[in-house]
Amino acid sequence: MSLEGARETRCLGDNPPVRLNAYLARAGVASRRGADELIKAGRVRVNGEPGQLNTFVESRDVVELDGRTLRRQQLAYVLLHKPAGVVTTARDPQGRPTVIDLVRHDARVVPVGRLDADTTGALVLTNDGPLAHRLAHPRYGVEKVYVADVEGRPNAEALRWLAEGVDLDDGRTSPARVRKLAPSRLELTLREGRKHQVKRMCEAVGHPVRRLHRSRHAGITADELAPGEWRALTPAEVTALREATEASRAPS
């Protein structure tokens, strides 16, 4: 097997040791927070012994919930073209449709980060907790590319402000790459992940967003999919996601 093939097989098939709550989440029985409660309640045993919050599980270990043996699901990676009007969460108290409703995968996958309900575009879902954390955490500086239709026609000064950094109520934004695609359409490439960041940046320079689309996340695009459609990521794309979190990691 080639080195590249071996790397892709390792990314998709191997099961390295994971914390017990992550094992339970990947087995599809609960979220990590819910798994913590199951562990604290004494309902989980590992190799016949009560599981602890700091227990790590390997592939040869036997994990039981209420006496029933669990099997960890294979790692799964999904790309969704998120449509407008769908919320990026597992369940919504207001009863709105969620991205989980759209992705009918055998594995229990959850979204990486969030897109606003009215924002469309590329959204990765996975049960690979460590990778999801790295993709979403600002420390790793993974690129996200957005196309924004805005009010008015931004001039050169507005573009410069967006590129150099905008003062928001939670601090100045990091430098971004900005391109003008049309008189009222901008492309912004960010390495941060603040809440409503693109909308707040454009509002701050006097051009509120009318429509927002994430065209790429860590170099992967969903534009070949119709809104609401999803597909499994290829082994090469999974490898690219892992490499993106390694290559773009910001200094501590």
CA–CA distance, 144 with 114 (Å, rounded to integer): 12
Same domain, 63 and 87: no
For residue 227, the domain's CATH number is: 3.30.70.580
Residues 24 and 120 grouped into a single domain: no
Q: Do residues 40 and 29 both lie within one domain?
A: yes
Same domain, 150 and 212: yes
Looking at the domain assignment, is residue 113 inside a domain? yes
Distance of CA 120 to the CA centre of its chain: 14
Look at residue 252 and tell me if it is in a domain.
no
82: CB partners within 8 A, 6+ apart: 88, 99, 102, 115, 119, 120, 121, 122, 123, 214, 222, 227
Task: Name the strand (E) or helix (H) holding 49.
Answer: strand 49-50
Which residues are annotated as catalytic? 116
Q: What is the pLDDT of residues 100-137, one digit of tens each?
A: 999 988 888 889 989 999 999 999 999 888 888 889 88
Same domain, 154 and 174: yes
CB 23, CB 103: distance < 8 Å: no
Does this model's pTM top 0.75? My answer is: yes
Please indicate, yes or no, whether residues 131 and 158 belong to a single structural domain of this protein. Answer: no
Longest dimension (CA), the chain: 67
pLDDT tens digit at each of 252 positions of the chain? 233 333 333 334 445 688 899 888 877 788 788 899 999 999 999 999 999 999 999 878 999 999 999 877 788 999 999 999 999 987 888 889 999 999 988 888 889 989 999 999 999 999 888 888 889 888 899 999 999 999 999 999 999 999 999 999 999 999 999 999 999 999 999 999 889 999 999 999 999 999 999 999 999 999 999 999 999 999 999 999 999 888 655 444
